[in-house]
């Protein structure tokens, strides 16, 4: 047998003396005079409970409904998956779900780049394991009958890396502690951090600049530039 959202395929064994078969759904005649030993029920409602039955027809008349099977159809595929909000470390998602006959409790599996990352009992989810990368999300509905196909995907683009230095105090000794915007520390390549006196561009730091981790001492007033790369190799500079 094979049961989907809207159809069910069943087969049965040959009954000796039978010339045809009658098919029933929830006790009501669905089709008669069926010569084959299988039948596909159609126009079913998703997430609904059905009893499928078969009776043999022969020269002496009809048998009783001799074989039955009880199934719940699969849930509908979620629709309207959208991005609610995004930071460099979280993504919120929302979608819609038509529960059909509502025969079984529906939950949801959430996927990022095809891998299961979580479940939800409502049509909403916040991914707190997001790492500020270009990603595709999809969801599927799950009941005791099984899982739907995955929804259409929604794409999330990484937030570009930038640096905020804050205000440089006009003293002869200042410590600058960069705050990273658009990427949390787990995405920053800390080994790439460099600073230089004066306004510089990214190319300057390929072979020059002073390495540091977290902060550095500015020993004279003036302009300073900080350089950093994220884990994907994207470079950023900021001047104060």
pLDDT at 184 over 70: no
pLDDT in tens, 43-76: 999 999 999 999 999 988 888 887 789 999 999 9
Mean pLDDT computed over every residue of the chain: 89
pLDDT at 165 over 80: no
pLDDT in tens, 123-163: 999 999 998 889 999 999 999 999 999 999 999 998 877 77
Q: Decide which of 13 and 118 is more confident.
A: 118
Model's pTM, two decimal places? 0.75
- Residue percentage of the chain with pLDDT more than 70: 95
pLDDT value for 205: 94
Print the SS3 string covering 49-85.
EEEEEEEEEECCEECCCCEEEEEECCCCCCEEEEEEE
pLDDT at 93 over 70: yes
As to burial, measured by CB atoms within 10 angstroms (0-12 exposed, 13-18 middle, 19+ buried), residue 121 is: exposed
């Amino acid at each position: 047998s094979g049961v989907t959202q809207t159809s069910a395929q069943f087969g049965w064994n040959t009954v000796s003396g039978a010339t045809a078969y009658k098919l029933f759904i929830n006790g009501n005649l669905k089709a008669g005079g069926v010569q084959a030993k299988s039948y596909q029920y159609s126009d079913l409602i998703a997430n609904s409970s059905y009893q499928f039955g078969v009776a043999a027809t022969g020269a002496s008349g009809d048998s009783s409904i001799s074989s039955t099977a009880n199934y719940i159809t699969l849930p509908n595929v979620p629709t309207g998956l959208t991005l609610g909000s995004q930071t460099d470390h979280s993504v919120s998602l929302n979608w819609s779900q038509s529960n059909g006959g509502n025969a079984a409790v529906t939950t949801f599996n959430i996927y990022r780049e095809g891998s299961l990352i979580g479940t939800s009992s409502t049509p909403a989810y916040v991914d707190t394991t997001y790492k500020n990368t270009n990603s595709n999300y999809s969801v599927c509905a799950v009941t005791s009958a099984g899982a739907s196909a995955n929804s259409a995907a929604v794409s999330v683009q990484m937030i570009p890396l930038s640096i905020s230095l804050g205000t440089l105090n006009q003293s002869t000794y200042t410590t600058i502690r960069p705050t990273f915007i658009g990427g949390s520390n787990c995405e920053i390549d800390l080994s790439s951090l460099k600073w230089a006196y004066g306004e510089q561009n990214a190319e300057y730091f390929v072979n020059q600049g002073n390495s540091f981790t977290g902060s550095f001492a500015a020993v004279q007033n003036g302009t300073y530039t900080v350089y950093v790369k994220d884990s994907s190799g994207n470079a950023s500079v900021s001047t104060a």
